[in-house]
Amino acid sequence: MREESAKLVAVLALPPVVAFDAAIATQVFGHEGLGRYRAVLCSTAAGPVATTTPGFGITVEAGLEAVAAADTVIVPGFRRGPVPEIALDALRAAHRRGARVASICSGAFALAQAGLLDGRRATTHWVHAADLAREHPAVEVDPGVLYVDEGSVLTSAGLAAGLDLCLYLIGLDHGPQAAVRRARHMVTPLHRAGGQAQFRLASSAPAGGRLREVTDWALANLDQPITVADLARRAMLSTRTLSRDFTAELGASPRAWLITARLRAACILLESGDLTVEEIARRTGLGSAANLRLQFRRAYDTSPLAYRAAFRVAPGGQDVPDRRRSRPGLD
């Protein structure tokens, strides 16, 4: 395939850029092979660009003229803040002329500031999702997925999810086999089980004030069939008042908080031992393996055993490898 027919991918590094995100996009498309793509790392101007990693800077070869000519523009994550208006104008112009625009991690904030996410579903790193929704209420933020395809505008979750998105784009452009070949070359699965919800661990954040004793007691007795009425009696409140206080202080109803706490406990047991799913369900008060699987799927979009395979830690503190991945061609 001739160089002239290669699709130009402009990776717009907004300083300070997340170097990992920028490297993913340039690595995937810059080394895709067969001349399908030509990747250009650019910024508001050619030259040095600071990164979020102390002592690690990069130099980009082009300015915004690369965005003006690109078939696809990818905005890696950056330290959040106002994006220069010239960069926002370049993103808007690229989108208007039909270029595909995508973001990795907090790069979604640049797309949102440019107005490209208004009325669209989008995602970002789960750490930033609530801020994206608050700062840009016209955006429908989905914090649980690895990436979102809205046609000409795509967004991904943080860091490694950018790799998922880039492989997906290759599949869109050249078919699934091209994406599979690129994934094999990069020694990564083409599709990962579940979304980023499995990385956003269920929070059992402690309460303050008069709820602290209640939540501490619940966390110490998760193996028991605790009800909202039990919590209310422990707090010496009516169930209505307890629900109001839980929502105000912890952002969830007592029942939702309790399920979240049970799931967090289940995650810890899956990460640190070999207990059966049935036993984990019993110890965390989720009752049965079937209910644990159901609640796990709802919360994390994956299964307990898939979670264990991804996050299990050996007694010495080392990750336990999934030996099935050593088989040639599994990915």
What are the residue numbers of the active site?
A: 105
**Angle value at C-alpha 124, between 120 and 129, nearest 5 degrees:** 90
User: Using CA atoms, how far apart are residues 276 and 260, in angstroms rounded to an integer?
Assistant: 20
The CA-to-CA distance between both ends of the chain, in Å, stands at 27
